[in-house]
A = this chain, B = another copy of it.
Amino acid sequence: MNTFLPVTQIQIPSGFIDLGIGDPQLSLLPIELIRQGAENCFAQNDLSFLQYGAEQGNGYFRLALAKFLSAGYGSPVEPESLFVTSGVSSGLDLICTLFTQPGDTIFVEEPTYFLALRIFADHGLRLVPIPTDEEGLVLDALEEKLAEIRPKFLYLIPAFQNPSGHTLTQERRERLVELCQERDFLIVADEVYHFLNYSLQPPKAFAAYSGVRNVISLGSFSKILAPGLRLGWMQAELSRIEHLVTCGLLDSGGGMNPFTSAIVRGIIENGELEKHILSLKTTYSARLATMDAALRRYLPGARYTIPQGGYFFWLRLPRDADAEELLTKANEFKVSFRPGIRFSSQGGLRQYVRLSFSFYESQEIEEGVKRLRQTLEKKVTWYNPHL
């Protein structure tokens, strides 16, 4: 059998360092915790986690998750406000199915998470980009657009944004929550990096505003436990939860991941999830520092803000080089990255690249940045009249 049988989503050619990958490193996935969580489930002799699950998600899992989130956010979360998903992508997909029609307009940050753009495209949505700065979404620009058109929703990543790393300030969050009520549009806040904070305690999560009918917060275990579990959650106002819970997909298939949520429930209840997140933060902080040092050393002409959480550096290339041109040359040096244009809903951001420090250890991060420098130098030689 010569068939190619991929197991994981991304395969990296041997010897390559792809600094674009926004996945956790395999060795950071806590297999022993998950093995123990599974073993506990099987030992209980209660088979209900193998049955069609409650549409909103296993009640005891939501209770455990609510306690975890209450501690993490520093504000109370009720299990009734939580809805279990198969991850943020499935949550976004469901929101699009239930709350939009093809041709509807939504607002997205510029830059934004390029794979969310793909989900929105599958639902035929029209995207209007709203500029961002170092404090996140620019509200004046948002208000200008709101004067022209009311979007079905605004999709944003408020903490340690993908790709920019920026965090929306507390002041802007509050104004945004006012605006979504005044102008009646939905805020869909993808808060997947909220708990991966290193040098900044992020402002109040949008989850804390989810008593407001127009605010939905999305969370996930992909970044804080393991992506393969396909487990996440939404937090929303009760009538919104009711709408989600009674939809056809759930009525038919039952809750989204009864088996994996039963496994994760134990990991939360025994406090291991919190410990694991602390250990991830230590690891990622060190890698972030390494990447920062390597960038200063090898790419002093690149401009960026040091991220304070999450997975990503967002660089403006030295001499405003074109990232897509650079990418074709990077192959030769066995290095890769994600060009900025992929994060633009309007084909812009060509001088930017996203680098991730989640997937590699410090030594490879340094080597990867060094190879980026070689790639840039190779390019530059063509323009250097002295050679």
Within 8 A of B (CB), among A4-32: 4-10, 23-24, 26-27, 29, 31
Within 8 A of B (CB), among A94-122: 96-98, 101-102, 113, 115-122
A124 close to B (CB within 8 Å): yes
Partner of A124, one of B29, B101, B260: B101
Give the A interface residue count (CB, 8 A). Answer: 79
The answer to whether B52 touches A9, judged by C-beta atoms less than 8 angstroms apart, is yes
Stretch from A193-201, A221-229, A349-357 forming part of the interface with B: A221-229
The answer to whether B122 touches A247, judged by C-beta atoms less than 8 angstroms apart, is yes
Given A86-B256, A226-B51, CB of A7 within 8 Å of CB of B248: no
Integer count of this chain's copies in the complex: 2
Partner of A8, one of B6, B52, B97: B52
Stretch from A53-61, A135-143, A284-292, A317-325 forming part of the interface with B: A53-61
Partner of A29, one of B47, B89, B115, B226: B47
- Cβ contacts under 8 Å, A121 to chain B: 248
The answer to whether A259 touches B230, judged by C-beta atoms less than 8 angstroms apart, is yes
- Which residue of chain B has its CB nearest to the CB of A250? B89
Question: What is the minimal beta-carbon distance from A28 to any residue of chain B, in angstroms?
Answer: 9
Q: How far is the CA of A121 from the CA of B251 in the complex (A)?
A: 12
The answer to whether B48 touches A8, judged by C-beta atoms less than 8 angstroms apart, is yes
Question: What is the minimal beta-carbon distance from A369 to any residue of chain B, in angstroms?
Answer: 24
- Cβ contacts under 8 Å, A222 to chain B: 52, 253
- Which residue of chain B has its CB nearest to the CB of A87? B253
Within 8 A of B (CB), among A299-319: none
Partner of A42, one of B35, B113, B228: B35
Partner of A122, one of B79, B97, B119: B97
